[in-house]
Structure 1
Amino acid sequence: MTGVVVGRRGRRSAGSGVQLTFEVIAETLRERIRSGRLQPGDALPTQAVLMREFGAASLTVQKAMALLKQEGWAVSRPGKGAFVAYYDHAADNADDLDSPDTTMSIGGTTARVEALELALADAVRQIADLRGRVEALESGGGERGR
């Protein structure tokens, strides 16, 4: 019995070679990054743009973006969108890792940490802003309803 992968459009045999829509979207964006059409720091296409381009549902696009983020190809900036991560994928995709010309990049990990630190700092700022708003509403909010 062959393994079965459950996807958005139902079941398919494991290793069937047929990509689901979210996989096609993710691979297309990876290729745009590899080719240089999308550079580190560039905004990725919005969900609406990807939905139109691929004729996909919003959940399908979200799944593709989640995959890219999980793999380190993209980072989110709350309130701003998704962006190409600062990461050297060429080192990960090298065909011949034994070649003396091939160097593995540890900068990719550093870039991921830096991106996470920036996202965390942005989240902390947003939380502080929200706390300030809540405090302002609580201190003066009782008079609004009157």
Structure 2
Amino acid sequence: MGGTVLLTFEVIAETLRGQIRSGGLKPGDALPTQAVLMAEFGASSLSVQKAMALLKRDGYAISRPGKGAFVAQPDVDTDADEDPGSPDAGNARMVARVEALELALAEGLEQLASLRDRVEALELSGTHQV
């Protein structure tokens, strides 16, 4: 009973990590789309984006612009570090960290906007109660 309750994005990320570790999803396989994950987990787009940022940060996933997210090749970063002439896969972790920071910033801005809307609503309801 003393277990930690995971947030939705953590549940999504852990579920996908488990599928990758078990071999259900193999390197190079496409990860489910944002729409699929939103429907499967009853999650917001932001929760799915945060889950994907975690997977990228931890080296489980990579993004291919215009194509989607895929299970990362475990040896891609190693090869890039050993062969300076290879495509710059070593930047994948940095890109994932930047994406995670951008998502965290977007979440903070979304929360601020929500708070601002709530304050405005409270102020409006207060002015109508004379």
Whether the TM-score (by the shorter chain) exceeds 0.5 is yes
Pair 1:30-2:17 in alignment: yes
Q: Which contiguous aligned blocks of 4+ residues in structure 1 show a shift greater than 6 angstroms?
A: none
SS in structure 1 at match of 2:62: strand
Pair 1:54-2:41 in alignment: yes
Deviation of 1:117 (Å): 3.5
In the alignment, structure 2 segments of 5+ residues that lack a partner are 93-130
Give the aligned partner of residue 124 of structure 1: none
Cα pair distance change 1:118/1:58, threshold 3 Å = same
Pairing partner for 2:58 from 64, 71, 79:
71
SS in structure 2 at match of 1:44: coil
Give the aligned partner of residue 86 of structure 1: 73
Give the aligned partner of residue 110 of structure 1: 78
In the alignment, structure 1 segments of 5+ residues that lack a partner are 1-14, 88-106, 121-146
Larger relative contact order, structure 1 or 2 (CA cutoff 8 Å, min sep 6): 2
Structure 2 CA distance for aligned equivalents of residues 118 and 108 of structure 1: 8
The structure where strand makes up a greater share of residues is 1
Percent of aligned pairs with the same amino acid: 67
Structure 1 CA distance for aligned equivalents of residues 80 and 4 of structure 2: 30
Rg (Cα) greater in structure: 1
Please give the residue correspondences for 1:40-51 in structure 2 after superposition, counting only pairs within 5 Å. 40-51=27-38
Structure 2 CA distance for aligned equivalents of residues 65 and 117 of structure 1: 18
Count of residues in Structure 1 that have an aligned counterpart in Structure 2: 87
Tell me how large the CA RMSD over aligned residues is. Answer: 2.7
Deviation of 1:110 (Å): 1.1
